[in-house]
Amino acid sequence: MLGKMKAIVKPRPGPGLEMATVDIPQIGPRDVLVKVRATSICGTDLHIYNWDAWAQSRIKTPLVLGHELAGDVVEVGDQVKLLKVGDYISADSHVSDGVCYVCRNGQPHICQNLKILGVDTQGCFSEYAAIPEVCAWVNDKSLPPEVASVQEPLGNAVYTVLAEPITGKTVAVFGDGPAGLNATGVARASGAGTIFLVGKHDFRLGIGKQMGASVVFNVQEPGTDVVPSILAATDGVGVDVVLEMTGNPQAINQGFQVLRKGGRFSAFGIPSNPVELDLNSALIFKGARILGINGRLMWDTWYQMAGLLASGKLDPRPVITHQIRLEDYQEGFALMMSKERNVGKVVMFP
Amino acid sequence: MLGKMKAIVKPRPGPGLEMATVDIPQIGPRDVLVKVRATSICGTDLHIYNWDAWAQSRIKTPLVLGHELAGDVVEVGDQVKLLKVGDYISADSHVSDGVCYVCRNGQPHICQNLKILGVDTQGCFSEYAAIPEVCAWVNDKSLPPEVASVQEPLGNAVYTVLAEPITGKTVAVFGDGPAGLNATGVARASGAGTIFLVGKHDFRLGIGKQMGASVVFNVQEPGTDVVPSILAATDGVGVDVVLEMTGNPQAINQGFQVLRKGGRFSAFGIPSNPVELDLNSALIFKGARILGINGRLMWDTWYQMAGLLASGKLDPRPVITHQIRLEDYQEGFALMMSKERNVGKVVMFP
Amino acid sequence: MLGKMKAIVKPRPGPGLEMATVDIPQIGPRDVLVKVRATSICGTDLHIYNWDAWAQSRIKTPLVLGHELAGDVVEVGDQVKLLKVGDYISADSHVSDGVCYVCRNGQPHICQNLKILGVDTQGCFSEYAAIPEVCAWVNDKSLPPEVASVQEPLGNAVYTVLAEPITGKTVAVFGDGPAGLNATGVARASGAGTIFLVGKHDFRLGIGKQMGASVVFNVQEPGTDVVPSILAATDGVGVDVVLEMTGNPQAINQGFQVLRKGGRFSAFGIPSNPVELDLNSALIFKGARILGINGRLMWDTWYQMAGLLASGKLDPRPVITHQIRLEDYQEGFALMMSKERNVGKVVMFP
Amino acid sequence: MLGKMKAIVKPRPGPGLEMATVDIPQIGPRDVLVKVRATSICGTDLHIYNWDAWAQSRIKTPLVLGHELAGDVVEVGDQVKLLKVGDYISADSHVSDGVCYVCRNGQPHICQNLKILGVDTQGCFSEYAAIPEVCAWVNDKSLPPEVASVQEPLGNAVYTVLAEPITGKTVAVFGDGPAGLNATGVARASGAGTIFLVGKHDFRLGIGKQMGASVVFNVQEPGTDVVPSILAATDGVGVDVVLEMTGNPQAINQGFQVLRKGGRFSAFGIPSNPVELDLNSALIFKGARILGINGRLMWDTWYQMAGLLASGKLDPRPVITHQIRLEDYQEGFALMMSKERNVGKVVMFP
């Protein structure tokens, strides 16, 4: 499709973003063109906004940001088999090559030649986006666009929680950002037993309660002592499952302290630096296992998520705290970087 | 403890049961004596009541029936480590030897020398019962006795449903007896997607809706066509999981017809006779798997069930349709054998 | 590539095959053209040769038969990413669409729109063959062509054996055809404990011993009593794993009789008719599971097979009893249909 | 049994051991008395010999050391069901209580109230030993005593290797002590593909080759560069499985560097101090998993080991470099603490 569209771009190296008018992207034979109905802001976008060390090393400008979306297919490449014009789709941001050793072992989400939408390719903070078929997901037409858009980060939580069976297990979630809140909701909808949620902001912990946390801890409140509290609440045994959604070294170490012998530790949060671990007490004598979580299983996670959403037992809308126009993106970024963090997910409508 | 107690017994070979006064059982070094608070009737008890071919070949009289219970420990054998006087317990009916090849491979629920409470040993339709430590389960004190008692059959459903992960999967449950209704509730609480429930009685299917069925089919209603309906509702794919809780050959075959390629078939219902199966279309070309379900995993299933009950998302009480005095057992058995089946579980209180 | 080649074809409906000169196939954008170095005969080819009911319902003529091969890539479609000219490849015969529900759940080998090479598409009993990239496998250059060609059926055995862990398990293999002999070799190379092999032909059972069977039974020998013999040899417990490679109802029932409680039954052999099973004793009371095996996992099975071949501990060459020229195909088919079955796999060289 | 026996004891706090005459142990109702045929020295025994910080904090004197053995049952407690006089047994050193949360979840090897033979209880460096039934294993009568004795440490390797399927996988083993050498043998017997073994001593690496290593690296040889060598040998992909048997921080970090995306890291070696890990590159972006290994699964591991030994494909005897009289224990300890490490396992005969 020929024409122009508005988009949020990083025009050149350096902090900040701009709203600009750019060409509608041309699609290749295995891509579709999507008219974006909704798109949402991820923590990765903040790194690019702020132009931190990671962004400087990874991002080529000019770049249209954005990798979470819902939209309608308006054009289809001639090698595409799954999709047709009119389909209502979202996308996994992980673009795999489909032929490497890892892809052919059933793990395309960690493809050896992985590209990320809106990071390594032009993204979807725009009116139109080119989406490779290999990472496209067809939505149920009844799914609200704001929910469809946040499936990508919700899928992180689904994968983190369901990397092993969770039903009936006691769970400790570390982190009250969107990832932790979504993980809480997924664990609850999947039949977890007691869920302990550990965070730093009352606003978010309140959402955590809505999502199904049994007990919440605000570590910034004086007197909060997470480890002894969780151990006491589990008869000294500890929890079956720890979901680490922060990357914070203190949270990681607390997670291992409350993990029971033989338990499962899902590691999703990304530490800024190497972490010192007492492997003996954390892992080896405990007979525990640590699962590194990146992306979402394609497409097991998406099918699980679709089933959970269809069941009516998982509703991520309490986590979607703000819905704004794409033009108001600066407001969205400001909210997500505010000290107070009175925000969950921000969805933008082009 | 010395003394007498009332009990429901099969005094001699032949149909029927009697209420009698018998000795309180003496416990061995690895048993506890339980004062029964609640005990519930199982289909197995009907076979013994009616003295059918199976019962004639298996049962030694006189026998106190009953293997589902909740009660308080009042005496403890001197080799017992887990339990103490005052514990509020239930029991798995499967008494394993703990040392056979199968037990030592982690499957004591199908021990090579398995004994069943109230079938191979004296049961719990009585004021007191001797329970081996190896099959005792300590309940949370807050669990109502009628719920604690039905955990044994509820556990069958938990095991059947959770033999593989169920979260987000589409499910077809065959059978609207207590097993099917409980399986529906467990699947719903564990995050299943769409749940199709197939049965024969509107009363029970109504309970199935309460337990979380998305769609119910009454095969006795004219015009009900289960297989095409489920296939149509799943875009021709079929369901991810079939839970077969009837043993009926027609249900088994319908189950395989609605099972998707690569799907899971949990077989819990016990056919009266050998069943003819087209293994090619049912299993082999489909790349499916069939899981034989017997008893409950000890103790994985019980921990999962405890977590589900603690979460508040699984409540078996709609399935408990009748609560009566132990003295009124004839009424309970009559209900369960009635043609109308306006009954789920019947709990009796000594 | 333009030109003519020799090929073995079914020219029109009816029994028999012909050697003919046909066009070298034209490849599509996602295919490669392979110069065939070796190709082998499968039981499926016999069905097509004999034009049985299945063949009549499935096969469209004219058809070049054959789906097992090794060869060199001589031409590459412009959408192909994995392969380049000069690659030495084999193929999985299962051509998946990659986008159906089942494919997107990681099971392309049982794709809902599955096509089979040499059955639904033109095959490889010829000098050249067009192979879709989606089912191509790059071989190690050191692999002899006759071994590379039989990887497809060897892969059936690898999948059947390794559908669950086999190391250290006691195993009963039913069937002394190539599938059973290969399964024996795979189980032995994978660290199985005692392996019982049940067959009908001393010639093949001799190969079974070479492949690693601990004990062989010829059911056609008077006095052979498989079930009591295996039970006696396992202290009455039965075997951990049954690999059913025949489809014969008697073998299937014997398999269930020697399977231990809690054991695994892999069903690969295809029965000609529905089979009557006592599900209670075979499956349900036993707490067993039955795995339907079709094709090979793509590509888990192939990677496992490559590792096994690289280890030097799996060598399928004793099963390759005959290596002939493609022109002599009638001899190969005659051997495989002979009453004596003094044959394993037959490899043909164009 | 009343009487005296010779034993190797730590009589009082401080370095060293003594040969002494002590009472034959009295057994409890759930124990058996074993006449020791063979017993072997473990690294744990060296810690106790040297009276290091760990030993000072854990060991109560006087203590008979030793937890690896083979012997004959000569007396049986009256609650014992599995064993009878004349049985030829070995033992898992992990004595579980059987009733804690972890035991009842099927993980008795990491029981919450775990005791270790010869550490927390009187051991088996003696003519007789009291062995609890709960940790006794009946050997095949044909197993040589020196092999039966080293099953306990061999079982560590079996568990480490088989914690997930290994067949056909590429493997890197770090460590050329008995644990690493045994792991190499188990991986080879279980059908692993290429096995890289990384160690420090040519004597031991030579044994590693006998056990089945494909390639060995001596990191003390100038020019050895493990990480690039393994990456080059795997086309830059890395290995499917890392088996870390050293606890050395450098080995741990090298292990993560050669682990492929989506791979498995079994952590068995015990670091002396906390280890700094780059969790992002080691685990999270890699989508890898780390399995903490302690003890042996009871009894899955032992059954796997019995099958492997029965198959004839696993033979730990090359690792048993020294067989001496119990009286010559000082020689055995000296060998194991020598700088040259020209030693694998040392078996002693009372």
Q: Is A46 helix (H, G, I), strand (E, B) or coil?
A: helix
Mean of pLDDT values over A254-262? 98
- Report the C-alpha gap between B15 and A343 in whole angstroms: 69
**Per-residue pLDDT at C280 exceeds 90:** yes
Q: Is A234 within the bounds of a domain?
A: yes
Check: CB of residue D334 under 8 Å from CB of residue D322. Answer: no
Note the pTM of the prediction, 2 decimals. Answer: 0.98
Domain endpoint, select from B277, B292, B307: B292
Considering the domain boundaries, does residue B301 fall inside one?
Answer: no
pLDDT at B322: 98
Percent of chain A with pLDDT over 70: 100
**From CA B83, how far away is CA D99, in angstroms rounded?**
9
In what helix (H) or strand (E) does residue C49 lie, and over which residues does it extend?
Answer: helix C43-50
CA of B295, closest CA in chain D: separation in Å? 16
Residue A270 has its nearest CB partner, among D280, D287, D288, at D280
Other CB atoms within 10 Å distance of the CB of residue D282? 22
Q: Return the H-helix or E-strand segment holding A70.
A: strand A68-76
Residue D1 has pLDDT above 90, yes or no: no
| Per-residue model confidence as pLDDT tens digits over B79-91 | 999 999 999 999 9
Q: What's the pLDDT at C236?
A: 97
pLDDT in tens, D87-129: 999 999 999 999 999 999 999 999 999 999 999 999 999 999 9
- Six token digits for residue A28: 């290749």
pLDDT of residue D98: 95
DSSP C37-48: EEEE--HHHHHH
Task: Write the pLDDT tens digit of every residue in A151-161.
Answer: 999 999 999 99
Instruction: In whole angstroms, give the CA distance from residue D337 to residue D49.
Output: 11
Q: What percent of chain D has pLDDT over 70?
A: 100
- Confidence (pLDDT) at C117: 98
> Do D61 and D192 have their domain in common?
no
CB pairs under 8 A between C and D: 87
Cβ–Cβ of C29/A79 closer than 8 Å? yes
Claim to verify: residue D134 and residue D189 sit in the same structural domain: no
Q: Which of C81, C105, C298 sits opposite A99 (nearest CB)?
A: C81
Q: Say if B307 is an interface residue toward chain D (CB within 8 Å).
A: no
List all residues of chain C from 80 to 109 with a beta carbon under 8 Å from chain D.
none
Residues D251 and D121 in one domain: no
**Residue A301, SS3?**
helix
In a shared domain, residues A273 and A242: yes
Chain C's closest residue to B100, CA to CA, is C237
A302 falls within a domain = no
Between CA C35 and CA C5 the distance in angstroms is 10
What is the DSSP code string of B309-320? HHHTS---GGGE
How far apart CA B286 and CA B263 sit, in angstroms, is 8
Q: Which two tokens mark B130?
A: 């001797």
Annotate D128-153 with b (16+ C-beta within 10 A) or e (fewer).
bbbbbbbbbbbbeeebebbbbbbbbb
Q: What is the DSSP code string of C317-334?
A: GGGEEEEEEGGGHHHHHH
User: Of the residues B21, B39, B44, B160, which is catalytic?
Assistant: B44
> At C246, phi and psi to the nearest 5?
-115, -40
In a domain, D10, yes or no: yes
* Closest C-chain CA to D304: C168
The CATH number given to whatever domain includes residue B28 is 3.90.180.10
Most A-contacting residue of C95, C96, C97, C105 (CB-CB within 10 A), to test interface: C105
Task: For residue C215, give the CATH number of its domain.
Answer: 3.40.50.720
- For an interface test with D, which of C311, C314, C315 has the most D Cβ atoms less than 10 Å from its Cβ? C311
Q: Name the average pLDDT for chain A.
A: 97
Q: What is the mean pLDDT of residues C206-221?
A: 98
Q: Which two tokens stand for residue A178?
A: 């969107």
Residue A33 token pair: 């063109």
For position D216, what pLDDT does the model report?
98
Which uninterrupted H or E stretch holds D261? strand D259-267
Tell me: do A201 and A229 sit in the same domain.
yes
Query: Do residues B212 and B193 touch, judged by C-beta distance below 8 A?
Result: no
Active site residues of A: 44, 47
Identify which of A30, A82, A105 has the shortest CB distance to residue C299: A105
For tokens 């795979």, name the residue.
C186
Q: pLDDT digits over A83-117, tens only?
A: 999 999 999 999 999 999 999 999 999 999 999 99
pLDDT in tens, C307-350: 999 999 999 999 999 999 999 999 999 999 999 999 999 999 99
- C50 and C161 assigned to the same domain: no
Assess if residue B307 is contained within a domain: no
Same domain, C108 and C64: yes
Looking from the CA of C142 toward its CB, the CA atoms found within 13 Å total: 4
Same domain, residue pair C134 and C162: no
| C304 in a structural domain | no
Helix (H, G, I), strand (E, B) or coil at C222: coil
Residue A270: give the domain boundaries. 157-292
Which residues fall within 8 angstroms of residue B45, CB to CB, at 6 or more apart?
B65, B66, B118, B125, B333
Whether residues B144 and B11 fall in one domain: yes
Question: In the predicted model, is pLDDT for residue D333 greater than 90?
Answer: yes
C77 CB contacts (<8 Å, ≥6 apart)? Answer: C27, C28, C29, C30, C31, C32, C133
d(CA A118, CA A109): 16
B112 interaction partners in chain C (CB closer than 8 Å): 237, 261
3-state secondary structure string across C154-204: HHHHHHHHHCCCCCCCCEEEECCCHHHHHHHHHHHHCCCCCEEEEECCHHH
| Adjacent-strand bridge partners of D264 | D241, D289
State the CB neighbour count (10 A cutoff) for residue A37: 19
Per-state percent for chain A, helix, strand, coil, to nearest 5: 30, 30, 40
d(CA D159, CA D153): 10
Collapsing DSSP to helix, strand or coil, D340 comes out as coil
Q: Do C260 and B102 touch (CB under 8 A)?
A: yes
Q: How confident is the model at residue C1 (pLDDT cuts 50, 70, 90)?
A: confident
- At position D265, the amino acid (one-letter code) is F
Preceding amide of C62 cis, omega within 30: yes
Indicate the pLDDT class of residue D273, thresholds 50, 70 and 90. Answer: very high
- List % helix, strand, coil for chain D (3-state, nearest 5): 30, 30, 40
Q: How far apart are CA C163 and CA C145, in angstroms?
A: 27
Element (H, E) at D112: none
Are the beta carbons of C130 and C122 closer than 8 angstroms? yes
Using an 8 Å Cβ cutoff, are B75 and B119 in contact? Answer: no
Nearest CA in chain D to C191: D190
Instruction: Flag whether C333 is in a domain.
Output: yes
pLDDT score recorded for residue A1: 86
Stretches in chain B below the pLDDT threshold 50: none
pLDDT of the residue at A70: 98
d(CA C219, nearest CA chain B) in Å: 23
Residue C60 CA to residue C184 CA, distance in Å, equals 36
CA distance C38 to chain A (A): 25
Q: How many domains does chain C have?
A: 2
So what's the pLDDT on residue B113? 97
Q: Residue D132 — pLDDT band, cuts 50, 70, 90? A: very high
Q: Which of residues 156-175 of A touch B (CB under 8 A)?
A: 158, 162, 165-170
Residue B229 maps to a domain: yes
Interface of A with C in 8-47 (CB under 8 A): 29-30
Q: Are residues A224 and A145 in the same domain?
A: no
Phi, psi (degrees; rounded to nearest 5) at C81: -110, -30
Nearest by Cα to B221 from B171, B176, B179: B176
Residues B119 and B219 in one domain: no
The DSSP code sequence of B47-114 is HHHHT-HHHHHH--SSEE---EEEEEEEEE-TT--S--TT-EEEE-SEE--S-STTGGGT-GGG-TT-
Contacts of residue A221, defined as CB under 8 A and 6 or more positions apart, other chains included, come to none
Residue among A81, A105, A300 minimizing CB distance to C99:
A81
HSE-up of B4 (CA within 13 Å, CB side)? 5
The residue type of A127 is E
State chain D's mean pLDDT as an integer.
Answer: 97
CA-nearest of C229, C290, C306 to C256 is C290
Q: Could you read off the pLDDT of D47-68 as tens digits, one per residue? A: 999 999 999 999 999 999 999 9
A8 and A139 share one domain = yes
Q: Which residue of A has its CA nearest to C82?
A: A99
Are C207 and C319 in contact by the 8 Å Cβ rule? The answer is: yes
